[in-house]
Amino acid sequence: MTAPILSVQHLERRYGARIGCTDVSFDLWPGEVLGIVGESGSGKSTLLSCLAGHQRPDAGTVTYDGRDVLAMAETERRRLARTEWAYVHQHARDGLRMGVSAGANVGERLMAVGQRHYGDIRAAAVDWLDRVEIAEDRVDDRPSAFSGGMQQRLQIARNLVTGPRLVFMDEPTGGLDVSVQARLLDLLRGLVRDMGLSVVIVTHDLAVVRLLADRLMVMKSGRVVEQGLTDQVLDDPQHAYTQLLVSSVLQV
- Per DSSP, the chain holds a count of helices (H) and strands (E) of 10, 10
Nearer to Mg ion by Cβ, of 93 and 122: the residue is: 93
CB 219 within 8 A of CB 23: no
CB 192 within 8 A of CB 34: no
Nearer to ligand ADP by Cβ, of 95 and 143: the residue is: 95
**What residue 56 binds from ligand ADP, Mg ion, none (CB within 5 to 8 A, per partner kind)?**
none
Q: Does 103 bind ligand ADP (CB under 6 A)?
A: no
Long-range contacts of 134-140 (CB under 8 A, 24+ apart): 134/102, 138/102, 139/101, 139/102, 139/103, 140/101, 140/102, 140/103
Q: Does 40 bind ligand ADP (CB under 6 A)?
A: yes
- What CA dihedral angle connects 41, 43, 45 and 50, to 10 degrees? 150
Q: Does 251 bind ligand ADP (CB under 6 A)?
A: no
Nearer to ligand ADP by Cβ, of 44 and 109: the residue is: 44
Per-residue binding string, Mg ion, 25-54, x by CB under 5 A, is --------------------x---------
Partners of 192 in the β-ladder: none
**What residue 38 binds from Mg ion, ligand ADP, none (CB within 5 to 8 A, per partner kind)?**
ligand ADP
CB 219 within 8 A of CB 21: yes
Nearer to Mg ion by Cβ, of 7 and 45: the residue is: 45
Nearer to ligand ADP by Cβ, of 2 and 248: the residue is: 248
Q: Does 35 bind ligand ADP (CB under 6 A)?
A: no
Where does this chain bind ligand ADP (CB under 6 A)?
15, 18, 20, 38, 40-46
